[in-house]
Structure 1
Amino acid sequence: MHAACALGARRGLATAHAVTRPAPVHVQDREDFVSTDLGAPAAATPSQDPPATLPTGAPAHDRSSAAVRSARPRARGAATGATTTAGTVTAGAATSGTAATGPAATRAARPAARRRRILPALVLGAVLVVVWETVARTGLVPAVFLPAPTAVAERLAEDLTTGGLARYVLPTLVEAVLGSALGAAVALPLGYLVFRSRHASAALEPYIAASQAIPAVALAPLLVLWLGYGLLPIVVLCALLVFFPILLATVLGLRTLDPDVVAAARLDGAGSWSLLRHVELPLAWPSILTGVRNGFTLSVTGAVVGEFVMGGHGLGMLLSARGLAADTTGIFSALIVLCALAMTIYGLLGALERRTAD
Structure 2
Amino acid sequence: MSTAIAERPVSALPESPESTVESRSGGAVLLRSERSAVRPPRARQLPGPALLLGATVLALWWAVTRAGLILPVFLPGPFDVARRLWLGVSRGGLLGYAQVTLTEAVLGCLAAAALSLPLAWGLFHWRPFARAVLPYIAASQAVPAIAVAPLLVVWIGYGTVPTVVLCVLMVFFPITVSVLLGLRSLDTDIIDAARLDGAHGPSMVAYMELPLALPAILSGLRTGFTLSVTGAVIGEMTMGGKGLGMVLASQRQSVDTAGLFSTIAVLCIMATSIHWCLQELERRSRVVDSLRGRRAT
In which range does the TM-score fall when normalised by the shorter chain? 0.7 to 0.9
TM-aligned CA deviation for residue 162 of structure 1: 2.4
Bigger Rg, which one: 1
Alignment match of 2:41 (pick from 89, 96, 106): 106
Q: Deviations over 1:96-138 (max 9, x none)?
A: x985x42xx224xx13xx11xx222222221111111111111
Native 8 Å contact 1:217 1:237 kept in 2? no
Deviation at 1:38, TM superposition (A): 1.4
Structure 1, residues 234-255: CA drift from partner, whole Å, max 9, x if none? 0000000110111001100100
Written as runs of structure 1 = structure 2, the 5 A alignment for 1:11-160 is 37-39=6-8, 99=37, 101-102=38-39, 105-107=40-42, 110-111=43-44, 114-115=45-46, 118-160=47-89
1:287 aligns with 2:216: yes
Show structure 1 runs of 5+ residues with no match. 1-21, 42-68, 70-94
In structure 1, the residue matched to 2:112 is 183
TM-score, normalised to structure 1, is 0.70
* Percent of aligned pairs sharing the same letter: 50
1:262 to 191, 203, 208: 191
AA matched with 1:352: L
| Deviation of the 1:264 alpha carbon | 1.1
Partner residue of 2:277? 348
Q: Which one has the bigger helix percentage? A: 1
C-alpha distance in 1, partners of 2:8/2:106? 62
Write the deviation string for residues 313-343 of structure 1: whole angstroms up to 9, x where unpaired.
Answer: 0000001101111111111111111110010
> Which residue is equivalent to 1:234?
163
Q: 2:29 maps to which residue?
A: none
Residue 154 of structure 1 and its aligned partner are, at CA, apart by: 1.5
Aligned partners of 1:158 and 1:321: how far apart in 2?
16
Shift in alpha-carbon separation, 1:299–1:39, aligned structure 2, 3 A: same
Instruction: State the Cα distance separating 1:160 from its structure 2 match.
Output: 2.1
Say which SS state the counterpart of residue 213 (structure 2) adopts: helix
| 4+ long deviations beyond 4 Å | none
CA distance in 1 between counterparts of 2:274 and 2:128 reads 37
1:285-324 equivalences in 2 (<5 Å) = 285-324=214-253
Shift of 1:165: 0.8
The alignment's C-alpha RMSD in Å is 2.1
Note closer, same or farther for the CA distance 1:279–1:313 as it changes in structure 2 (3 Å cut).
same
| Partners of 1:193 and 1:200 within 8 A in 2 | yes
> Contact between 1:250 and 1:288, CA under 8 Å: does it hold in 2?
yes
Aligned to 2:94: 165
Aligned mates of 1:269, 1:128 — CA distance in 2: 57
Cα distance change, pair 187–40 in 1 and its aligned pair in 2 (3 A): closer
Question: Which deviations, in whole Å up to 9, do the C-alpha atoms of 1:185-221 show, x marking residues without a partner?
Answer: 1111111100000110110011111111111221000
* 1:76 corresponding residue in structure 2: none
Q: Which residue of 2 aligns with 1:250?
A: 179
CA distance in 2 between partners of 1:341 and 1:242 (Å): 17
CA distance in 1, matches of 2:82, 2:120: 44
Tell me the residue number matched to 1:199.
Answer: 128
Is contact 1:224–1:310 with CA below 8 Å preserved after alignment? yes
Moved more, 160-169 or 123-132: 160-169
Q: Secondary structure at the match of 1:346?
A: helix
Cα distance in 2, alignment partners of residues 134 and 164 from structure 1: 31
| Partner residue in 2 for 1:4 | none
**Is 1:333 matched up with 2:262?**
yes
Please list every run of 5 or more consecutive structure 2 residues that lacks an aligned counterpart in the other structure.
11-22, 24-33, 290-297
In structure 2, the CA distance between the partners of 1:271 and 1:98, relative to structure 1 (3 Å rule), is: closer
Shift of 1:163: 4.9
Structure 2 counterpart SS, 1:229: coil
Deviation at 1:40, TM superposition (A): 8.9
Paired residue type of 2:207: H
Contact 1:241–1:302 (8 Å) recurs in 2 = yes
Rounded Cα–Cα distance in structure 1 between residues aligned with 2:174 and 2:277: 18
Q: Distance in 1 between matches of 2:205 and 2:173?
A: 21
Query: Shift of the alpha carbon at 1:164?
Result: 2.8
User: Contact between 1:308 and 1:320, CA under 8 Å: does it hold in 2?
Assistant: yes
Which amino acid counterpart does residue 232 of structure 1 have in structure 2? V
Deviations 1:289-318 (A, max 9, x none): 100110000000000000000000000000
**CA contact under 8 A between 1:160 and 1:166: conserved in structure 2?**
yes
**TM-score w.r.t. length of structure 2:** 0.84
Counterpart AA for 1:347: W
For residue 122 of structure 2, give the secondary structure of its aligned residue in structure 1. helix
